[in-house]
Structure 1
Amino acid sequence: MTSADGSRHSAALATHPDPADPTPTPGGRLPRRPGPLTVASVVLLLPLAVLAVTTDRFLTLDNARAILASAAFVGITAIGATLVMIVGSAVSLAVSQTATVVAMVFLVTQHLGLLPAVLVALVCGVVLTAVQGAAVGYWDANPIVLTIAAGFAVGAAATWFSGGTPVYPASDAFVVFNRTLLGLPLSVYALLAVTVLAHWLLRRTTAGRQMYLVGENRAAARAAGLPVGRVTVLAWAFFGGCIAVTGIFLASFNTAATVTLGGTLTLDAIAAVLVGGTAIAGGRGSALQTLGGALLISVISDVLLLRGYSTGMQILVKGLLVLVVVIAVHLRTTRGWR
């Protein structure tokens, strides 16, 4: 039986809780403290915001369009890479080479018509990556080693196919992909469409939910009877489709394809996924977060470019950004931050 003094003591504790006691507040929620990812975001974004607003020509409509157009090429690929990383397949190091081959295939098939050329390019991208996904999903191949080998093979095929010279289209039907709608390139709308599709796939379908489960614990997922191989191949096939779309837009924008067309696409896509907070070990991530990561990478590149910094400096800054975010995500995962 509780005494009057005990009741008053309990009421006092409820009114003035012990700071060391994780008792819920009167609203019923535990007091929250910022996690390492939140802290890292603030530390990184504040200086970037100051640097951006003090950069000449940054706060202009034309520059905003340029940022969105730049983010589209990286973002479309990064959205596909998000599914691969969520399913626990780490990263692919053959993105640039695959996009280059797809671009070449798209241009040389222009004589068939625009739609057939697009379909052939999409099939090429999907097949090249789905085969790698099958090796990872069914035979547990190491994705890093596998994609390094695939990158060499695909790059060699591109060099052999083109003879080391630029590949030009047989017609100009591809220029439709260089058009703008409401002042924005079609690639920006393609980025939004791919993001919505990936978000729906991950959040609203059985296959998407299975991707998270497989990425969280592949052995447990296999023991539970989940189709690990099929789910992994699906993620990689979607990734291949995204690379193909990027390759089509790159070919259309450049009006030709060379063996160096892909540039730093591989590293930029990986950076966008990681900066978006997707766990490289799998089981956690979001297409919307990756979209934000792609925009951030594009903004950083734009600011550094406007300030006259070299490509090497841009790569260095993006590399440091990825390092900080990966460490923050690791700390959040291992220390149980929420």
Structure 2
Amino acid sequence: MSTLLLSRRLPVAADRIATAIRIAAIGCLVLFAVTTPGFLSAPAIRSFLTTMSFVGCVAVGMSFITIGGSLMSFSLGVGLSATTIVFVAALPLGLWPAAGLAILFSCLLNGVQGLVIGYLRANPIIVTMASFALITGIATQITAGRGIYAFGTETAAFKGNLGPVPLPLAVFLGVVVAGQAILGHTRIGRQIILTGSNPRSVLAAGIEPWRPITWSFVLAGFFTAFAAILMAARYGSGDLQHGIGMEYHAISAVLVGGTAIHGGSGSILRTFFGTLIIAVFQAVLVLRGFSTELQHLALGVLVLLVIILQRK
């Protein structure tokens, strides 16, 4: 009896310790942020919210892949870059047709990877790394390694504010609401969660696991396309440089938000808070004069600590 009670108390104690560590870490981050010179200035806050929104849209897409049990996609960043090129190239057709083509392209690009992973039961890391190389090579061949630029005011509608709210932030908040609704209130969302937690139970329910896996990648492409369109509009170009490192920041936000690395557990709301924490963390490092290398190192240590907390 005592052994049984001990086995029950240990996980509860571990959860309490992990929760205390998270609260203390967030408190320290808030303290560092508000004491950082320039952090609360209007230009810094606007830049911070815009950058957070770009990463957040990709992180919402990455959440579906991680919760579905495929860990992450190494090609989501370069897929975003390719989508910016498609969007700018299609602008002569009109702003909204270009946006529609960009979204369709991103969904297909990622959906094919999900289909290969799910149907062939291939390793998602290997498939997405191979996709990264293929997308980079093909896009470089087509564009000769140069970006393409939007001329005139075609993208003006995707800049500025929506009332008092910066448009990228408004889109990100809409993406969070839509993503949470899909994950928690649709059949495909529940199937993605079930596939990540126990693929055998999906088979027992008469569902082929490759379908939810494919859908998780399609949804990742769908939400990533919003970031691609907003970035292309902001910079006035489609370029392979736009998405560099985006998948790394996205998976960091997903894990820091508390989504289980092994899948089957998590939410889009958690990813929202993870994105916010990562954005504040990076803004503080930038404003305090940390080099790019030290920023990557600090972010890597943060993600490693989160993974250790999950395991314990």
SS at match of 1:231: helix
Match of 1:15 in 2: none
What is the alpha-carbon distance in structure 1 between the residues aligned to residue 148 and residue 271 of structure 2? Answer: 32
Q: Give % identity.
A: 34
Alignment of 1:122-271 (within 5 A): 122-271=103-252
Alignment check: 8 A CA contact 1:65 1:184 kept: no
Deviation at 1:48, TM superposition (A): 1.6
What is the alpha-carbon distance in structure 1 between the residues aligned to residue 58 and residue 194 of structure 2? Answer: 23
Match of 2:9 in 1: none
Q: Deviations over 1:180-223 (max 9, x none)?
A: 12333211111111111111111111221111111111133223
Q: Deviations over 1:78-130 (max 9, x none)?
A: 00110111111110000121011100010011100001100110111000000
Q: TM-score under structure 1 normalisation?
A: 0.85
What is the alpha-carbon distance in structure 2 between the residues aligned to residue 37 and residue 167 of structure 1? Answer: 48
What is the alpha-carbon distance in structure 1 between the residues aligned to residue 41 and residue 122 of structure 2? Answer: 48
Q: Alignment partner for residue 278 of structure 2, among 294, 297, 303?
A: 297
SS at match of 1:99: helix
Deviation at 1:43, TM superposition (A): 3.9
Question: Aligned AA for 2:303?
Answer: V
Query: Do residues 273 (structure 1) and 249 (structure 2) align?
Result: no
Question: How many corresponding residue pairs?
Answer: 305
Alignment check: 8 A CA contact 1:214 1:221 kept: yes
Question: Aligned AA for 1:281?
Answer: H
Q: Deviations over 1:222-252 (max 9, x none)?
A: 2332232221111111100111111111111
Which protein has the bigger helix share?
2
Deviation at 1:172, TM superposition (A): 2.8
Indicate the structure (1 or 2) with the bigger Cα radius of gyration.
1
What is the alpha-carbon distance in structure 2 between the residues aligned to residue 227 and residue 140 of structure 1? Answer: 12
Deviation at 1:50, TM superposition (A): 2.3
Match of 1:89 in 2: 70
Match of 1:316 in 2: 297
What is the alpha-carbon distance in structure 2 between the residues aligned to residue 191 and residue 241 of structure 1? Answer: 13
Alignment check: 8 A CA contact 1:80 1:238 kept: yes
SS at match of 1:116: helix
Question: Aligned AA for 2:201?
Answer: A
What is the alpha-carbon distance in structure 2 between the residues aligned to residue 34 and residue 126 of structure 1? Answer: 40
Alignment check: 8 A CA contact 2:82 2:239 kept: no
SS at match of 2:286: helix
Segments of structure 1 that go 5 or more residues without pairing to the other structure are 1-19, 23-31, 332-338
Match of 1:107 in 2: 88
Segments of structure 2 that go 5 or more residues without pairing to the other structure are 7-11
Alignment check: 8 A CA contact 2:86 2:238 kept: no
Alignment check: 8 A CA contact 2:62 2:220 kept: yes
Question: Aligned AA for 1:253?
Answer: R
Alignment check: 8 A CA contact 1:111 1:171 kept: no
Q: Which shifted more, 141-150 or 51-60? A: 51-60
Query: Do residues 78 (structure 1) and 55 (structure 2) align?
Result: no
Alignment of 1:57-68 (within 5 A): 57-68=38-49
Q: Which runs of 4+ in 1 moved over 3 A?
A: none
Q: TM-score under structure 2 normalisation?
A: 0.92
What is the alpha-carbon distance in structure 2 between the residues aligned to residue 222 and residue 138 of structure 1? Answer: 13
